[in-house]
Amino acid sequence: MSGNVSSPGATVVSRVLAVLYAFDNGHRRLGVTDLARRADLPVPTVHRLLRELVAGEALTRDAEGRYAIGRRLWDVGMLAPEQTELQQVASPFLSDIHAATRATVHLAVRDGTEVLYLDRLSGRASVPVVSRAGSRLPLHATGVGKVLLAHAPAQLREDYLAAVLRRPTVHTITHPERLGRQLAAVRREGYATTEDEMTLGACSIAVPITRATSGGEQEVVAALGIVVPTLKRERTRLLAALQVAARGIGRSLP
């Protein structure tokens, strides 16, 4: 290499991944320069990588010359066993909940300090909801997030509470002690709720999905939640539907 030192760990593979990871929900179609900026790589290098990725059908290129994730990579992603096995088992149960409540239903797991949405069954004319399969949200502002945070390892939970938390709406609870007490309640009662905490006009209720570990203990592997305009007196009915489905899913897990 002639000119630059090119930061350590600079293998071709890591560059390819940097380029792929440069895409996100808000930027699904990007030009060479944008991608180079986001991946922090020189433009000509990215340009060459993109050409090779398009040739390999991993990316597509639209009429305006922008690049996007292609069919083959979508395919490959669908083979991720951890996400799709759970999602596949849960799918019919999500339909059941949706049929019984007509609300938007979510299946999510914890990925580090974020909620990762695995699946969403959207009610048609219902509440505006931000999440879709593949999107990530903070743990403390959604129903499923609170469930997952409540059952996360104690250390992670403490660190999370101690950090500065984002406030998507004015109703978002970020006060460490208040949130901590709420999480204890979630563990005690077996479900979590939110009211206007992620999106104004949207309430949610969520329950954990558990699986028996090899040691015989119950372990929370995911969360199941629904989003509705208001909880009001519906609470018990919605909760019942969720709990039935969550148990069904837990039982069906390998």
Which one, 66 or 211, has the nearer CB to DNA? 66
Q: Judged by CB under 7 A, which of 29, 34, 133, 165 binds DNA?
A: 34
Contacts with 241 (C-beta within 8 Å, 6 or more apart), sequence order? 96, 97, 100, 101, 226
- Contact between 206 and 223 under an 8 Å Cβ cutoff? The reply is yes
Binding mask 84-103 vs a copy of itself (x if CB under 8 A, - otherwise)? x---x--xx--xx-xx----
User: 99 is in the binding site of which of DNA, a copy of itself, none (Cβ under 5 to 8 A by kind)?
Assistant: a copy of itself
Q: How many residues bind DNA (CB under 7 A)?
A: 25
**Does residue 6 come out as left (phi exceeding 0), alpha (psi in the -120 to 50 range) or beta?**
left
User: 168 is in the binding site of which of DNA, a copy of itself, none (Cβ under 5 to 8 A by kind)?
Assistant: none
**Binding to DNA by residue 15, rule CB under 7 A?**
yes
Q: Judged by CB under 7 A, which of 21, 31, 40, 189 binds DNA?
A: 31
Which one, 42 or 180, has the nearer CB to DNA? 42
The Cα–Cα gap between 236 and 62 comes to 49
Cα dihedral 217, 221, 227, 230 in deg (nearest 10): 20
Which one, 58 or 202, has the nearer CB to DNA? 58
User: 42 is in the binding site of which of DNA, a copy of itself, none (Cβ under 5 to 8 A by kind)?
Assistant: DNA
For β-strands 192-195 and 218-228, DSSP reports them as: unpaired
Which one, 26 or 216, has the nearer CB to DNA? 26
User: 91 is in the binding site of which of a copy of itself, DNA, none (Cβ under 5 to 8 A by kind)?
Assistant: a copy of itself
Neighbours of 165 (CB within 10 A): 17
Q: Judged by CB under 7 A, which of 26, 63, 65, 170 binds DNA?
A: 65
C-alpha distance across the termini of the chain, in Å: 50
- Contact between 212 and 219 under an 8 Å Cβ cutoff? The reply is yes
Picking from 138, 237, 243, the residue whose alpha carbon sits closest to that of residue 194 is 138
Least separation in angstroms between residue 59's CB and DNA is 12
- Cα-trace Rg, the chain: 21
- How far is residue 114 CA from its own chain's centroid? 7
Least separation in angstroms between residue 29's CB and a copy of itself is 7
Kindly list the residues in this chain that would bind a copy of itself in the complex (CB under 8 A).
11-14, 16-17, 20-21, 23-25, 28-29, 49, 52-53, 55-58, 60, 68-84, 88, 91-92, 95-96, 98-99, 111, 116, 120-124, 132-134
